[in-house]
Every structure is written in C-alpha cells, then in structure tokens.
Structure 1
Amino acid sequence: MKQIPKRVMIVSFDAVGAKDLEYLQTLPNFQRFFEQAALCSHVNSVCPSLTYPAHTSIVTGRMPKNHGIVNNTKIQPNRKDPDWLYHRKWIRSTTLYDEAKKKGMTTAGLLWPVAAGSRMDYYVPEIMVTRKWQNQILMNATNGPLFYQLDLNKRFGQLRNGIAQPQLDNFIQACALDTIYKYNPQLFLLHLTDVDANRHLYGVESKEAKEALKRHDKRLGEIVRALEETGEMESTTVVLLGDHYQKDVDKVAFVNHALWKAGLLTVRNGRIKSWKAYAKNCDGSCYIYLHPSVENNAEVQKCTRKVLETLKGREDFGIERILTREEAANMGADENCFLMLEAKEGWFFLDEWEQLTAAEKDCAHGMKGTHGYLPGEADYQTFFAMSGCSVRAGARVEKNIALWDEGATLAALLELDLGKTDGSVIREMLQ
C-alpha cells in the first residue's frame, strides 16, 4: 500500500539549472541529498521561461496559457513600471496549496510567486512594489496573514535590505526555519532567489553566482536539520527544483521604438498614450499584441509583420525568430498574442519606446544575465529532485519533462486532485 507523506518541503532555487548540478554535487549538503534522491536533470521551463509563469505551472500542473499567468507583469503600455501578477486570484485553476488546505493539511509559503491573497496558513507573499504611494510592508501585510508577518518582521527584519541579495534570502531562510520549528507545516513552499539576482547582475558563470550556490548549500543543510528535529523523516518528502536557467546578455532590443516610428503607437509627454501594436517584453522573448479594437484589421496586421520582418533582417538587431500565435500557444504561451519573438544569443528585450544610446542602454538595464527564452535547449534546462517518503531512492529520469509534469507528480505524491492538467505523473520517481 502506498504511503502518503505527512510532510512535503518544496524548495525552489530560482535560476538554478541542470548545468549547475555537477558543481552542486561537490557541495556537502547537496551531495548528501542527491545521493538518495530521485532526479531528473532534463526539465524544460515554461514559455516564456519567467519566474511567475514557471512557479504557477509547478503548483497547477498546467501550461501558462491554461493557468493564466503568461508573464511576470501586466500589459500596461502607459506605465514605466507595470504591476506584477502577484495575486492568487489571477490563477485560473486550483493549486497544490488549495487542494492541500481542503484536505486539512497545514500550509506555508515564503515568497512563492502568485500566492498573495491565498488561503495558506502561514506565508509571506512575493509582491514587487511599483507605485510611489505603495509601502512594501503594508502591501505584504494586506495580502497575507498579518500577525504572522508582523512577528517575522519584528524578529528577523534587520536581516533584510529591500530586495538586495543575499540579505533577502537570509531573511527568508530565518523565517523558514522559524516556521518549521514553530508550526511544522505539512506542505511548505519556499522560493529562494539569491542565484537569480546574482546572475542578473554579474552573469551566469560569475564568481558571485557560484558564491550564491554555496550559500544555498548551507541553507539546504539548515532546512534538513530543522525537518529532522521536528518530525519523522520517514514520512517526510523533500523536493528541490529550479524554475528556469539564465543566459549571458549584453545587448538590448527596443521593438516598441520601431512600432512608434511606423505609427503603430503614439507617445505624449514621454508615455505611450495609444497603440495599435505593442511589444511586451519577457526578457529573452517578447509578445506582440494588437489592440482589441484593431486585432482583426488586416492592414494593421500586415504593417506590424512588415516592421518585425525588417527588424529580423537586420544584423544589428536582436530578433532570432518570429512565432505565430499558434506556434506560441502550442508551446504553452499566451494564445491571445498576435506574434511572439525569440531573441538572438546575447540579446534581450525591453518595453521602452525610445531608442537609447549604448551608454543609456547600459544604465537602463544593468543586467549581464537573464531568462525568458523559449524552452527546449539542453544548455537551458533546469532540474527536479525528490527524496524521502514514497520516492524511489536513486532513480534517474533521462527523458525530458516540463514544469507542469512536476505539478502533476507532486499532486500524485500527496493524492491531491488538480483537475485537468497538462502534465503527466513522472512514475519513475515514485514508489
């Protein structure tokens, strides 16, 4: 008879990929974990491979086009800093933590994306403040359990320095350990972003990224120790995973500048005021949307395609590939887009309509690594590993899987019903 874990700890290491596994297995705590774990090192991220769509696929077992989180941020052409898709209400399906709660399990989540306003028992939502009148602590307090968050901020808030790393993960790690010891949740979703932040700032193979991986090893050891001290490990399952990888970048493509020059969007006082076509960046890829009032206008469609084909033909511009709406949807991306763009190696996209100088571009993005590219390349994959109760110790899955397969597998592990999923259960990893 199958044993259902009484406790599942899921740790997401943002931007940690399959290429990191060789190094991770030289570190003591990761080495100890992987020796007993079932592992798949061929995991394709979502399309586009961004943090919010990725983490939503992990907890729903669905592609972005079906769970509704198709980007990190909203389509708001008139805003310099668009709002992030942080709230649970924007997910169009049930989740692992919803179903666990229905089953009577205690649930927790720290900085797990798109979980603000959820019904988890103990959680700190990940909310990016984008408006001058917003206060980070107040935004978090009004979108999650108030007294739980106030207590954590009172005792560990001095560890944090805004969203700077490693301070943010040091704060979240202290919160995680405290939550394990005090509440011992049965389903715990933890999101750590140290590596992602350092790869953005310094590059994929930078010494800063490697130092972040070392810090994650220490954090893993502390988490496992806390679990060992608070419960029976024979009825506990620990899950480690990545959401996407990154690529090094040094060039930015501003598609909206070309759309503006073609008269497909208008600008007033430095802001986009109206548009027929709009380029919404996903970092390494880019959605092209047509305004609902002209989305069936053949002339607008033709003009937009012509602009993009011209850009793609330029050696000094960063478009590698133009996908149709159908091609994008088949990969799980937003089926409401008109087209989708894939960046060339070393390039990524931004939303700005102005054509910036080289110096201004450096100042505008300040990134040496990023993600958001179309999934599928072997060097761009991430990983999925489980160890403990109901897991086939030492199993190695060589086939390619997707993040939504992880959601289906985690649901099967806990015997939770996610309804209709796009994912398949990875039976090779389960007893």
Structure 2
Amino acid sequence: MNKRKRRMLILSLDAVGSRDIEKAKDLPGFARFFEGAAGCMAVDSVYPSITYPAHTTIVTGRYPCHHGVVNNTKIQPGRKSPDWFWQRKYIRGTTLYDEARSAGMTTAALLWPVTAKAKITYNVPEIFANRPWTNQILTSLANGTPMYQFHLNQKFGHLRNGIREPELDNFTHASLIYTLETYRPDLTLVHFTDVDSQKHDYGTESPQVRAAMERHSHRLMEIQDTLERLDMDKETVFVLLGDHSQKDVSEIICLNALFLEKGWISQRRGKIRDWRVYSKGCDGSAYIYIRDKQLYPEVYELLKKLRDEKRWGIEALYTGKSAVRMGADGACAFMVEAADGYFFRDDTETFTRLTRGGEHKGCHGYRPEKTGYQTFFALKGPGIRENQAVEKMNLADEGPTLAALLGLDLGITDGKVIRAFLEKE
C-alpha cells in the first residue's frame, strides 16, 4: 500500500504566550486542536524576542546572530519610518520553505515575515509601502506571487482595512481557506497578528485580547473543518505556535536623547543626520552601536551608571560579546534590557517619559527566559505522538523538528530535533 503524502500547515499566532493558551483551552477551536496534540507550553523565544528574528529562527533553526535578521527594522536614523527586514535576501543560509521547494514540494506563505521575493509557489509577503511614490498593492505584487495575490485581492480585498486588526487577519484567514481548497500546498505558513495588535494597543490582560483569542478560536475551528472536508486532515501535520509573549508597559526610554546631549548624535531640523553612538530599539531591549571606537569606555560608563542607579528603567547591560552568546547581533557594542514596565524607542525627544494615548501598552523584545514570558509550540497529525508533552524547549528547536517530519534537512542549526514528538518510523 502506498504511503499517503505528508503535508504541513504552520499557523503562527503572533504574541500568543503560554498563559494565553492556558486561558483559551476552553474555547471550542483551541479545545478541538489540543485534543490529542503534542506540544510544549514553555518555549523560550529568541533574543531580542521580536517578530522578524523569531519567525526567521522558526524556519531556519538558527539564532538571529547566525541567520542575520537581528531586528524588525533596519538602522536608518534619518527616516521616520525605517524599512523592515522584509526580503528573503536578508536571511543567511537555508529555510524550511527553500528545502521544501528543493524537494519538489509546493509552498504557500500568507504574511509570513521575511518572505518578500522568496521562491515560494504562492506568496503574499508581509510588507508595506514605505515610500511616497508607491502604494500597497504594487509593493505587494512586486514582492510576492502576482497572479495569486491579484486573485486573493479580488475575492477578499474588501475584508481588509489597511493593516488594522482584526480585518487583516480576516483577510489572511479567508485567503488561507481559499488556498487550501484551490491549491492544496504541501507546506503552508500563515502569520496572524490579531493578538499582537490588541496587546500593543490595550495591554496584555485586556478584554480586547480575550476577544482576539475568541476570533482565533473561530478561525481554528473553520481551518480544522476545511482540512476534514478536503480529506486533508489525515495527511497534514497541523502546527500551532507562538513567536514570543508580551509584557505591560507604561514608560519609554529614549537613549538617543542622551546621546544627542553628549554630542554623539547630530541633527538638522529635528532629524538625525549623523551619529557616532546610536541606540536601536527592539522594544524591551536595545542595541547600542558605536562608530567611534574611542567612545567605547565613555559609553560603557554612562550605561553602567544608568543601570546601577535603578531609576531609569534599565535592568541589565551586556557587551556585544555577551549579546552574540545570547543569539543577538554581535555587531553591537552593547545591549541593554528594560526593566518591567519600560520599553525603548529610537527618537531623541526626551530621555524617559510616561506613555501617551495611542502609544504601546504592551511590548515584547525582552530576554526570553523571564518568568511568565514563554510562548508555546503544539502539533498533531501523521508522524506525531499523541498527547506527548515536552517540559521545555527553544524556538530554534522548531525548525529542525518540522524539517524532520517532512523528511528535510536544514543543515547546521542551533536547535535540535525534538524526537519525543515523533513517532518511531
């Protein structure tokens, strides 16, 4: 008897932590998924624990210092809105979808980070128009699969409201159901950001977050119904995962305001024109880059003083060597970690201040080991041991494990295959 083809559907719920999942297991879509699923409810993210480094680690099994996507956005101090690491070209080495393609599998990605211009069969990349002379539709078409995106926009474009949630996830969800029905890809990667948006806007324990989890439950229910209706459920490894959690915040730290006072940053008409020392924020942490190496001791003493005084919101200070050992960008001179309630921004307005209306109430980017800050990883389907629980794992373990289930190899990785999840062949 011929072995049935094995497919994989990976659904990323941005900013959904372990605590969110525990509270959501009473919701029908989650309850149905977790019945018989294997998984881990204590997954450490990467450092910095933000979306683009995390999602790149998921598909490579490597830490940011090795795969190259060390932040969400690039160092562009003169720009009000810096470009993100949107394109596949920023990833060093191979990915799960590259290896799937090499093995002759069809692939699909719906708003999965760092997939613009990737060789994916059906691709709607996460990217937005960041220049005044272009628009969202043209930018997306130029970086993904044109006709596929054209059809999705024709059918479901009315569901979107820019990048606002929950409309964006409604569009993504409708596009996923259509993609499964029409194309039946061998590997599908989907990124939902509803919870992340609600946590940023309203805080981690807000009613809006619960409402977003309820919407995710409805989406999960329809996805599972669709897999059964299409007779794909028995051949599909269904993976549900988070990339990081979030913490509540109320105060902002802008180290560049201090660097401006020190003369290490120069401005013209309120815009940074040049710098010798620059703080590049990752929300709950920040990279410190130094162009003038003679300033290294002075910068170190300043940062150490701020940390030791314990009233400026800086909890920890790391050297560049320490940062790379934690998986972050080794090109930084230092890395600083925010205390609970604080997060970093790149502007030069004022050193520290309370958040205002419309600014973040929840953030991520912190050390992944912090208590109550873990995320989750769960999977079910062919080749998976039912109800198998693993006590602890790292985001870098996910890529090698998923590759092994598909008979693929990611090469040298920082993570390992979690064989406890796999049925013995």
**TM value normalised by structure 2:** 0.96
CA distance in 2: counterparts of 1:426 and 1:357, whole angstroms: 43
- Letter in structure 2 aligned against 1:402: N
Q: How does 1:332-347 map to 2 (within 5 A)?
A: 332-347=327-342
Does 2:402 correspond to 1:410? yes
CA shift, 1:224, in A, is: 1.1
Does 2:365 correspond to 1:372? yes
Write the deviation string for residues 146-189 of structure 1: whole angstroms up to 9, x where unpaired.
Answer: 11101111111110000111100001101000000000111000
CA shift, 1:233, in A, is: 2.3
Aligned residue among 393, 409, 417 for 1:425:
417
CA contact (8 A) 2:47 2:366 kept: yes
Q: How does 1:285-304 map to 2 (within 5 A)?
A: 285-291=285-291, 294=292, 297=293, 299-304=294-299
CA distance in 2: counterparts of 1:151 and 1:71, whole angstroms: 32
CA distance in 2: counterparts of 1:356 and 1:286, whole angstroms: 14
CA distance in 2: counterparts of 1:52 and 1:22, whole angstroms: 25
Q: How does 1:18-57 map to 2 (within 5 A)?
A: 18-57=18-57
Does 2:170 correspond to 1:178? no
- Letter in structure 2 aligned against 1:426: I
Paired residue secondary structure (1:30): helix
CA distance in 2: counterparts of 1:263 and 1:310, whole angstroms: 18
Paired residue secondary structure (1:288): strand
Paired residue secondary structure (1:283): coil
Match of 1:270 in 2: 270
CA shift, 1:357, in A, is: 8.5
CA shift, 1:325, in A, is: 1.1
- Letter in structure 2 aligned against 1:392: R
CA shift, 1:70, in A, is: 0.3
Does 2:301 correspond to 1:306? yes
Does 2:373 correspond to 1:383? no
Task: Structure 2: give runs of 5+ residues left out of the alignment.
Answer: none
- Letter in structure 2 aligned against 1:303: E
CA distance in 2: counterparts of 1:4 and 1:245, whole angstroms: 36
- Letter in structure 2 aligned against 1:300: L
CA distance in 1: counterparts of 2:277 and 2:227, whole angstroms: 52
Write the deviation string for residues 263-319 of structure 1: whole angstroms up to 9, x where unpaired.
Answer: 11111111111111100000000000012xx2xx3x310121122123224444121
CA shift, 1:415, in A, is: 1.2
- Letter in structure 1 aligned against 2:328: A
CA gap 1:403/1:4 in 2 versus in 1, 3 angstroms: farther
Match of 1:326 in 2: 321
Write the deviation string for residues 76-102 of structure 1: whole angstroms up to 9, x where unpaired.
Answer: 112121100000011001111011011
CA contact (8 A) 1:4 1:414 kept: no
CA shift, 1:358, in A, is: 4.9
- Letter in structure 2 aligned against 1:379: G
Which shifted more, 311-320 or 376-385? 311-320
CA contact (8 A) 2:109 2:189 kept: yes
CA contact (8 A) 2:257 2:351 kept: no
Deviation >4 Å, runs of 4+:
356-359
- Letter in structure 1 aligned against 2:368: P
CA gap 1:5/1:406 in 2 versus in 1, 3 angstroms: farther
- Letter in structure 1 aligned against 2:59: V
Q: How does 1:127-206 map to 2 (within 5 A)?
A: 127-206=127-206
Task: Structure 1: give runs of 5+ residues left out of the alignment.
Answer: none
CA distance in 2: counterparts of 1:281 and 1:357, whole angstroms: 14
Match of 1:236 in 2: 236
CA contact (8 A) 2:46 2:368 kept: yes
CA contact (8 A) 2:25 2:31 kept: yes
Aligned residue among 385, 388, 393 for 2:386:
393
Provide the aligned length of Structure 1 versus Structure 2: 423
CA contact (8 A) 2:256 2:351 kept: no
Paired residue secondary structure (1:164): coil
CA distance in 2: counterparts of 1:149 and 1:279, whole angstroms: 37
Paired residue secondary structure (1:362): coil
CA gap 1:357/1:254 in 2 versus in 1, 3 angstroms: closer
Quick one: percent identity of the two aligned structures? Answer: 50
**TM value normalised by structure 1:** 0.95
Paired residue secondary structure (1:309): helix
Paired residue secondary structure (1:113): coil
CA contact (8 A) 1:61 1:421 kept: yes
CA shift, 1:4, in A, is: 8.0
CA contact (8 A) 2:290 2:333 kept: yes
CA distance in 2: counterparts of 1:80 and 1:317, whole angstroms: 25
Write the deviation string for residues 235-288 of structure 1: whole angstroms up to 9, x where unpaired.
Answer: 211000000000000000010011111111111111111111100000000000
CA contact (8 A) 1:43 1:382 kept: yes
CA contact (8 A) 1:284 1:342 kept: yes
CA gap 1:4/1:263 in 2 versus in 1, 3 angstroms: farther
Write the deviation string for residues 96-153 of structure 1: whole angstroms up to 9, x where unpaired.
Answer: 1011011111100000000000111112100033332231111100001111101111
RMSD: 1.7
Match of 1:362 in 2: 356
CA distance in 2: counterparts of 1:184 and 1:69, whole angstroms: 30
CA distance in 2: counterparts of 1:4 and 1:428, whole angstroms: 23
CA distance in 2: counterparts of 1:29 and 1:401, whole angstroms: 25
Match of 1:280 in 2: 280
CA contact (8 A) 2:254 2:352 kept: no
CA shift, 1:15, in A, is: 0.4
CA gap 1:9/1:261 in 2 versus in 1, 3 angstroms: same
Q: How does 1:193-232 map to 2 (within 5 A)?
A: 193-232=193-232
